[in-house]
């Protein structure tokens, strides 16, 4: 059995930037263990699988180790494949996911993701969180991730986390963020419990970062950059209880997965 596969650099305007995701269109759902095995073999931060359902699509995301509830960059990559490679003639795509219905629309040269907003709340961090990041003091908030706010974007760039010490935290991962100079804010995201030490660009983290920085900077929309050695750019806008996260994508490869009958 052959499956089509595409690898797309999401939140990137040229190759080898942003966050690579694999996208696999399916005629019907395969066994979960097989989906997980494909994602592990791809060894990217996310592999997206989708099945057409009328004018909607069922969409799931897998890291090399687990299925996740929400992934922004792989959703962007999936929309890019549907629009650019599969020729879907629509202005808006509708995805049924574990996080509810998600929408992606064309916005000029950008693709705009419509996700639920999540406002982070102050919390008492686990004792090992800041030491694992090499930080003595920082503000810590919580949504799906621990959101660590520092006072200088250079501190974000210089982070060298102890990933073994970040394992077992009672949250999906950790995002460290600061006000930016070229961009409104910058961030890096770490999630060893999901099988991803560092995710270059995490669209879902911006469902929390956008409300935070819109409130603190007093403007909307915002431009953001995420990543360490590899970076990507996002346009973020808070609209009521939704966050619109927009970006570009670039095709890296397309081919076939050869599965046993």
Annotated catalytic residues are 46
Answer whether 11's CB lies under 8 Å from 246's CB: no
Beta strand pairing status for 19-26 and 2-10? antiparallel
Q: Is the dihedral of CA 131, 136, 142, 143 positive or negative?
A: negative
Q: Which residue has the tokens 């890096």?
A: 188
Q: Where are the alpha helices (DSSP H) in 60-218?
A: 72-80, 129-133, 153-157, 163-166, 206-217
Could you please report the per-residue DSSP string of 20-79?
Answer: EEEEEEESSPPPHHHHHHHHHHHTSS-EEEEEEETTEEEEEEE-SS-EES--HHHHHHHH
- Residue 74's Cβ-side half-sphere holds a number of Cα atoms within 13 Å equal to 26
3-state secondary structure (DSSP) of residue 246: strand
Count how many residues are written for the chain.
261
């Amino acid at each position: 059995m052959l499956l089509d596969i595409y690898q797309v650099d999401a939140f990137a305007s040229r190759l080898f930037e942003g966050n690579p995701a694999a996208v696999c269109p399916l005629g019907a759902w395969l066994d979960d263990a097989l989906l997980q095995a494909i994602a592990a073999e791809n060894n990217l931060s996310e592999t997206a699988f989708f099945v057409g359902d009328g004018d909607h699509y069922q969409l799931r995301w897998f890291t090399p180790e687990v299925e996740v509830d929400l992934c922004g960059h792989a959703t962007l990559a999936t929309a890019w494949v549907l629009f650019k490679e599969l020729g879907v003639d629509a202005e808006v795509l509708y995805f049924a996911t574990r996080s509810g219905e998600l929408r992606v629309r064309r916005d000029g040269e950008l693709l705009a993701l419509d996700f639920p907003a999540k406002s982070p709340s102050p919390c008492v961090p686990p004792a090992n969180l800041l030491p694992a990041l090499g930080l003595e003091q920082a503000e810590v908030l919580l949504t799906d991730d621990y959101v660590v706010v520092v006072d200088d974007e250079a501190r974000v760039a210089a982070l060298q986390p102890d990933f073994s010490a970040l394992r077992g935290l009672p949250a999906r991962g950790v995002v460290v963020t600061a006000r930016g100079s070229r961009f409104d804010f910058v961030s890096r995201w770490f999630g060893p419990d999901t099988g991803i030490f560092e995710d270059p660009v995490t669209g879902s983290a911006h469902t929390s970062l956008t409300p935070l920085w819109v409130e603190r900077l007093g403007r909307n929309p915002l431009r953001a950059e995420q990543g360490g050695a590899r970076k990507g750019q996002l346009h973020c806008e808070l609209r009521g209880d939704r966050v619109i996260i927009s970006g570009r994508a670039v095709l890296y490869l397309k081919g076939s997965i050869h599965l046993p009958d």
